Amino acid sequence: MSPGSSRQNFSYYLRRAADSIVAAPVVSGVTVSSIAVSVLFMALIVLMGGNAGRMVALWSASGMDVSLYLELDAGEEQVVELKDRLAAYPEVARVNYLSREEAWQFLADNLGDSAELLSGLDSSVLPASLELSLALDADPGSLPARFEEWANLEGVDDLQYNRYELSRRSSALPLVAWLTLGLCAVAGLASLIIVGAGYQLAAYSRREELDVMRLLGAVGNLYWGPILLAGLIEGTAAAGIALGVTLMGYGALSSVVLRQLPLLGEAVAFLSPTEIVRLLGWGAFLGGFGSLIGMWRISKWR
Amino acid sequence: MIRLSGISKRYNGSRVALDAVELHVHEGEFAVVTGPSGSGKTTLFRVLIGEEKPDSGTAIVDGRNLSRLDASGLAELRHQLGLVFEEPRLVDRLSIIDNVALAADLAGATRSEARERAAACLDRVGMLGYRDCRPRDLSGGERQFVALARALVNDPVLILADEPTLNLDPDYTLEMMRVLTECCAAGATVFMASHDIEALSVLRCRVLLMNGGRMQSEGFGEPAFL
Ligand SMILES: Nc1ncnc2c1ncn2[C@@H]1O[C@H](COP(=O)(O)OP(=O)(O)O)[C@@H](O)[C@H]1O
Ligand SMILES: [Mg+2]
């Protein structure tokens, strides 16, 4: 018989955790709201950072198109295969095939009045090409390596892109990312302090009860387990509430923005599934960590 | 069951609370320590349950040297003790039966087993009728009997009580002494700190007198009970 071992099944922890949440509704309300507000702030920062990044990318997107000139003897089958292969890269949003004739026509259209300059030439001097539109969230830092890779694909003769636009994007996007990260760090630190204070309050309101449990021989997991579990439950629930509020706010705001500025459509998006999971995890962490720290500071079991 | 030798304790900056206390309580014995307020009874009780570390001396309870126990060893010991304090110290938000079952729960009983034993102990102290009430619905005396039931729920080898009758009226005091004596007759060791004449007058047991943190004399209580 060793206390704190796994003799107790999960229902013990769940029962005690649920008990402690329901026991002091006001105090639980305070801790849950403090976590919800913290996660809400974090979600807004991440959401705005993501959208700002995609908008920056969108503004430079037109200049970011990449042309892959095909070898003159590339067959249709090879081109189709190449197109599929390129479309599969996450950095690639769209691939368009431009035949020699279309390239010729495109050039002629662009020359306008001076089109007669082309009159002595054969349309076959221009190579066919694959025109790539890059994804808005493609990492500019890794693009040069990708370009190198694509230029060496079978059937590709040459690859051209706008170096100036790429370097512009390479400097703007990390700025947005670092700014977002910095704001997250500040908000995270502030949250830890606020949530910790809330849980300290919760701990004080339960001091007598925890003392009784200790005197009755609650120790280790039996003592800390329910405290941790209650914090995790509260934190996850609070994060869920915060994300719900964020989603509602996003829904209302984005429909207004898109009606006014439909061109932004490609750039405006809600949090990605990964971001949602991370924010839920952040809420759970705040709850679990906060409750343990709060209890630890008043506890005689150290 | 209890063996203290040379136990001394001085609280920060104040005068001595325990002064080289020697105490030996045999298995199955009923022993009471009495003395004026401030004589060190509660401090002695707290040393016995491992809540207070003595400055010097050794304390052996149920064969275990308290100074050598870590947190989980102490918790394990507490599962085998029945503790009654001056105040009932119940958990307000739990029902009466859950308050009693909590002690069994923490000692490793399953949920149903804990509730079953809790009901039996409440019945034993005549409080089963209140099983689904909250502590706030009961009088102070009734709460103290719930605390007594909680002390009995793990079938303790040693019952330690600190002024258990302090807030009880005479009828309840008598009843509490009756239950404790019954437990002793059933094999448990009982050690009680009390300066309640009412309680002492009905006990026929060894009585130790404390004063200023020292064990002064030992005698036998007036034979009146049983
Ligand atoms: N936590 C404490 N801090 C400082 N002094 C204390 C504390 N608890 C008790 N004392 C002192 O220790 C002495 C013994 O107290 P106590 O053990 O409570 O006696 P009793 O239970 O016999 O009334 C008293 O002088 C009291 O003032
Ligand atoms: Mg006392």
Residue boundaries of the structural domains of chain A: 3-59+170-298, 65-161
Planar angle of CA B208, B214, B219, nearest 5 degrees? 20
Ligand 1 pocket test target in B8, B11, B192 with most atoms within 8 Å of CB:
B11
Is residue B80 in contact with ligand 1, taking CB distance under 6 Å?
no
Does ligand 1 have an atom closer than 6 angstroms to the CB of B13? no
Residue B170 Cβ inside 6 Å of ligand 1? The answer reads no
Which residue in A15, A47, A35, A46 sits closest to A284, CA to CA?
Answer: A35
Q: Which of A7, A19, A222 is closest, CB to CB, to B93?
A: A19
What's the pLDDT score for residue A273? 93
* Residues, CB-to-ion distance under 5 Å, ligand 2: B 41-42
B112 lines ligand 1 (CB under 6 A): no
Which burial class, exposed, middle or buried, applies to A254 when counting CB atoms under 10 A from its CB (0-12, 13-18, 19+)?
middle
For residue B79, the chain A residues in CB contact (below 8 A) are 1, 3, 216-217
CA torsion B45-B71-B80-B36 (nearest 10°) is 0
Write down the pLDDT at residue B224: 38
Please report the pLDDT score of residue B223 as a whole number: 40
Tokens found for residue B118: 């809790």
Alpha helix segments (H runs only) across chain B:
41-48, 71-78, 96-106, 111-124, 140-152, 170-185, 197-201
Q: Is A218 on the interface with B (CB under 8 A)?
A: yes
Which tokens hold the place of B140?
A: 């102070």
Contact A222 B106 (CB under 8 A): yes
Residue A276's region, left for phi above 0, alpha for psi from -120 to 50, else beta, is: alpha
Chain B's closest residue to A209, CA to CA, is B91
Lookup result for tokens 């590709």: A156
- Beta-bridge partners for B5: B58
Selected from 3.30.70.3040, 3.40.50.720, 3.20.20.210, 2.60.40.10, the CATH number assigned to the domain covering A65-161 reads 3.30.70.3040
Query: Closest to A3 (Cβ–Cβ): which among B72, B90, B150?
Result: B72
Contact A11 B49 (CB under 8 A): no
Residue stretches of chain A with pLDDT short of 70: 1-8, 60-63, 115, 118, 120, 123-124, 299-302
Kindly give the number of the ligand 1 atom that is closest to the alpha carbon of B44. 17
Say what the pTM is: 0.71
CB pairs under 8 A between A and B: 70
Ranges of chain B whose pLDDT falls below 50:
223-226
Residue A260: the pLDDT is: 82
Which residues in A lie closer than 8 A to residue B156 (C-beta atoms)? Answer: none
Ligand 1 mean position to B41 CA, how many Å?
A: 8
* A38: phi then psi, degrees, rounded to nearest 5: -60, -45
Q: How far is CA A6 from CA A20, A226, B102, B109, B113, in A?
A: 21, 13, 17, 12, 17
Does the CB atom of residue B21 touch ligand 1 within 6 A?
Answer: no
> Pick from A110, A301, B160: which is nearest to A292 by CA?
A301
Distance B124 CA to ligand 2 centre (A): 27
Across the strands, what pairs with B162? B193
Query: What's the pLDDT score for residue B226?
Result: 34
Which residue of A lies nearest to B75 if distances are taken between CA atoms? A217
The DSSP symbol for A290 reads H
Q: Is B158 helix (H, G, I), strand (E, B) or coil?
A: strand
B9 pocket-lining for ligand 1 (C-beta < 6 Å): no
Q: Locate A2 and state its tokens.
A: 């060793």
pLDDT at B50: 92
Amino acid at A267: A
The Cα of B93 is separated from the nearest Cα of chain A by a number of Å equal to 6
Ligand 1: which of B9, B10, B12, B14 to mutate, judged by most atoms within 8 Å of the beta carbon?
B14
